[in-house]
Amino acid sequence: MDGDLKKQSRAVLGSVRALLEELSEEGLERIAAPTDVADPPSPINLPAQPREAEERPPIADPAPPPSPAPVSTPGPQDLGLERSWGASPSLEEVREALGECTRCPLHEGRNKIVFGHGDPDADLMFIGEGPGENEDQQGLPFVGRAGELLTQMIEKGLGIPRSSTYICNIVKCRPPGNRDPLANEVSTCRPFLDGQIDAVKPKVIVTLGKPAASLLLGHDVAITRVRGQWHDYRGTPLMPTFHPAYVLRQYTEAVRRHVWNDLRAAFERSQQGSET
């Protein structure tokens, strides 16, 4: 293979890898092998690939994964779960109501409940998916590698202390093997997430990754489509962005720029009307 061909092949492989990463972030679990294609196209005959992920046209939503996805889950009132707090609870009240929770099977494998952390009066609230191993050990959200990146984005990027924000997850116990939380686990934990939102009353919510965006927007979303756009969650402006773990996997300039723009927009909006 001459040098140019090698370079072209590497570029195509890089684009395919980026596309697969993105599809996987969207929930695609496998791609069916073509059955009646005579000759697969040679990579060098493929149409020119855009250089960066964000230049691609939006990707069609893949079919929903076979396991129940954490979307369109009923609200607490539909589940008959009583909220033991009013419209304006304190975080302590919500935490106390959660207790040493055994409401869903996730409690069986957890080490520590990861309720949430940060300023109870934060203007900016981040919502991830669920605790990983480090979080489960420490009882704190986003303290592993993805958490380090999130912290850097907040502190170096936005120039504010992480402790001035509030960070939590959809589910408060680590799903085994870091799998996605199941619909029943999400719906069981959801009243407590809503309680946290009602307690903190952030000016802006930032959802990190597809599951959190899908849950709060009430339908299965393609994160590449909804990120960077303003949405609303029960009257609070909501900005979905990529999950920091995805940014770590897909560490391209384009992905980092997207997240940076999303966080900047979220922060600026959270500060509107706050200047003295």
Residue closer to ligand URA by CB (options 15, 187) is 187
Min dist. Cβ of residue 134 to ligand URA (A):
7
Min dist. Cβ of residue 168 to ligand URA (A):
8
Question: Hey, what are 218's tokens?
Answer: 């009430």
Residue number with the shortest CB distance to ligand URA? 128
Residue closer to ligand URA by CB (options 15, 169) is 169
Residue closer to ligand URA by CB (options 15, 239) is 239
Residue closer to ligand URA by CB (options 76, 175) is 175
Residue closer to ligand URA by CB (options 142, 242) is 142
Min dist. Cβ of residue 1 to ligand URA (A):
41
Query: Would you tell me which residues interact with ligand URA (CB under 6 A)?
Result: 128-132, 135, 141-142, 144, 146-147, 169, 245
Residue closer to ligand URA by CB (options 143, 265) is 143
CA distance linking residue 143 with residue 244, whole number of Å: 12
Min dist. Cβ of residue 207 to ligand URA (A):
10
Min dist. Cβ of residue 206 to ligand URA (A):
12
Strand partners, 168: 127
Other Cβ atoms less than 10 A from the Cβ of 148: the count is: 14
213: left (phi over 0), alpha (psi -120 to 50) or beta: alpha
Min dist. Cβ of residue 106 to ligand URA (A):
14
Residue closer to ligand URA by CB (options 242, 267) is 242
Nearest to 228, CA basis, from 48, 77, 58:
58
User: How remote is the C-alpha of 259 from its chain's centroid?
Assistant: 12
Min dist. Cβ of residue 147 to ligand URA (A):
6
Min dist. Cβ of residue 174 to ligand URA (A):
9
Residue closer to ligand URA by CB (options 144, 195) is 144
CA distance linking residue 81 with residue 66, whole number of Å: 27
